[in-house]
Each structure stands twice: as structure tokens, then as C-alpha cells.
Amino acid sequence: MRLINCIGVLLAMCWTGLATVAGAQEMPVVRVAVLKIGTVNWELDTIRRNGFDRANGFELAALPYADNGATRVAFEGGDADVAVVDWIWVARQRAAGKDYVFIPYSRAVGGLVVPADSTAQTLQDLAGGKIGIAGGPLDKSWLILQAYAAREFGMDLAQDTEQVYGAPPLIYKSALAGDTDGAINFWHFLAKMKAAGMRELLSVAEASVALGLDPDVPLLGYVMKESDLAENPGLSQAFYEATRASKSLLATDDAAWEPLRAAMNVRSDSEFVALRDDFRAGIPARGPVNAESADQLLRLMAELGGEKLVGNATTLPPGLFAQIQ
């Protein structure tokens, strides 16, 4: 990263791509690679709209990409300074020698929903049925639900059901059409599915508790490079403060959601409320991630997903989580 001398900027943070703010002094620009339709845009839009970035000494720039893979490529290649990922991926990269660190964003997780008229009350009742799964065979929600089924019922959920894998919108549409007996999807699609009348049979949070895991460990977050943070002392905390200010506003002020309605792509007020409420439910507590709880989850992911999921990160790599307060 090219270091530029920035005078009069809070925390003296310097990033590539300097922008002039208010025609008076220059502020560093933090470039965040995001999925064009990703829910993280709600948080980032709120940061920019309310000036939480400038209040913390930088200017936020969201760079939209068509898919999550492209956001990671942009981050790794230096076209972006930050990307949104889950920390399991960051742990895998760090175990491979990369200097990536994680700042928590959300603990929102998926779950399994069934049609409103389904008679299923537990995962056992889906035996012989078809489950639609977003994210593929190594989807973390799917792995946790398999572990839960094995522990609670002695059930091999993968063997006892038929799985249909697909992109989140496809799983959403097929579930609403009644093509599957149950569906596992990302949290925001699940919110829309529940708003449309589907019923949550089991959440990943509930399954995690039953497995002895800590459901408060945030899975999603912002990845940065440790080398960049070393060149720019205070950057991780400043960025984190801006995100927390956005979260605080969205958690307490319904009016703050109105400017986001179009980006949320909702078809009804019930969808809007479901997305708003589930976003709020996924806001993690302030402060650093509990490393012991995270290590427990990583060990389970390594056991269930193996090297294809975690690479060499069978235990929590030191320094994975950025130093924030």
C-alpha cells in the first residue's frame, strides 16, 4: 500500500486513493468490495448518509461486484482495501500465511424452513424428503444442522434426505413453489420466506446451542490486511466505530430504514419488517470476538468440512481477529 502524508486528519490514517472532502482538507478513502445486492450495503449506506465515516477520519467508498468471489479477488489483488467474508475463510487464508484479519459485522445466520402446512416438527420428520440448500455441500448452516441431527436423533441427515443445491434466489423460489420439503437459505432470504408464510423448523442458532457452541460468535465480518493496519495505526478501530454507529442507528430508529427500502428490494411491508427485525437480531455485541468460542466452532467445521472447507486451519490462527474495543 502506498503511504501518503495526510495532515489534519483524525488518527492520521492514510490510504490509497485520497479524496478531497468539503474542499478543505483531504481524507483517506477506504474502498470496500461488496456484493452489489448484499445486505452489508444497508450498513455502509447508513454510514455514508450520516457521515459516520468522516466523523472517524476517513471516507468510505463501496465498490459493487456481481458475486462474492469477485469481491475476494478485488481485495486480494489490492483493488479494494476491505471485503465482507466469514471468518472461517479468513482463518483458512491466515493459516496459509496471509496477513488477513477480521472485524465483526453480523452474527445473523440461516436456518431451515418448511411450508406453512408442513406437519414436520423436528428434523427427523424430514426423513425421505427433499431439502433445498443454498451455498453447496459445505454450507456452514447445513453442516451444523447435520451435526445437530446426528447428536439429537442419531440421524444421518445427508443420507436420510435428498439435497438440492442452488443459488439463494433459486432455493427461495423453489421452496415457495412447494418443490422441496424444507429449505436452508441465507438469513435475508429466510426472512422473506417467513414473511411469505413459511415456518422456521430449526435455526442454526438453536442448533449451535444444542451442540455446545456460542451462538453470539459473529460469523460475518470485514477482512483487512494486517500490513495495511500496521502502516495506518488506529484504522481498524476507526472503521469499527463507524460500523457501530451505523448499527446503533439502525437498531433503534425505524426512520433510518426508510432510505434503504428500495435497496432492500421488498415486495411488501411484511418483508420490509422481517428484514429489518432479523438484521437487528443479528447485530453482535460490541467488543472483540471470543477467541475460545470461535476456536470451538472452527474445530467443528474442520471435523465436518475437512480441508476443503478450512484448509490447514484446524485450530484458530493467532492474530485472526483485529484488535478492537
Q: Which pLDDT score, from 0 to 100, does residue 27 have?
A: 83
Is the pTM here over 0.95, yes or no?
no
H helix count then E strand count, the chain: 14, 12
Q: Which pLDDT score, from 0 to 100, does residue 25 have?
A: 57
Q: Which residue has the higher pLDDT, 325 or 17?
A: 325
Nearest Cα to Cα of residue 161 among 209, 196, 124: 124
Give the mean pLDDT of 113-137.
Answer: 96
Instruction: Give tens-digit pLDDT for 20-75.
Output: 334 345 788 999 999 999 999 999 999 999 999 999 999 999 999 999 999 999 99
Nearest Cα to Cα of residue 231 among 14, 18, 17, 26: 14
Q: Which domains does the chain show, CATH number per domain?
A: 10-107+217-310 (3.40.190.10), 111-210 (3.40.190.10)
Q: Are strands 111-114 and 182-185 parallel, antiparallel or unpaired?
A: antiparallel
Chain CA centroid to CA 218, Å: 8
Q: Which residue has the higher pLDDT, 135 or 118?
A: 118
The SS3 call for residue 102 is strand
Instruction: Give tens-digit pLDDT for 262-320.
Output: 999 999 999 999 999 999 999 999 999 999 999 999 999 999 999 999 999 999 999 99
* Cα angle value 281/282/284 (rounded, 5°): 110
Q: Please, is 206 exposed, middle or buried when counting C-beta atoms within 10 Å of its C-beta (0-12, 13-18, 19+)?
A: middle
Q: Which pLDDT score, from 0 to 100, does residue 110 have?
A: 87
Rounded to the nearest integer, the mean pLDDT of the chain is 91
The SS3 call for residue 142 is helix
Nine-digit cell at 55? 466523523
Label residue 178 by pLDDT band (50, 70, 90). very high
Length of the chain: 325
Q: Which pLDDT score, from 0 to 100, does residue 168 have?
A: 94
Give the mean pLDDT of 243-270.
Answer: 97
Q: Are strands 199-203 and 111-114 parallel, antiparallel or unpaired?
A: antiparallel
Q: Which pLDDT score, from 0 to 100, does residue 223 have?
A: 98
For 126, how many CA atoms within 13 A lie in the half-sphere containing its CB?
29
Q: Which pLDDT score, from 0 to 100, does residue 24 have?
A: 40
Q: Which residues pair with 27 in a beta bridge?
A: 19
Label residue 180 by pLDDT band (50, 70, 90). very high
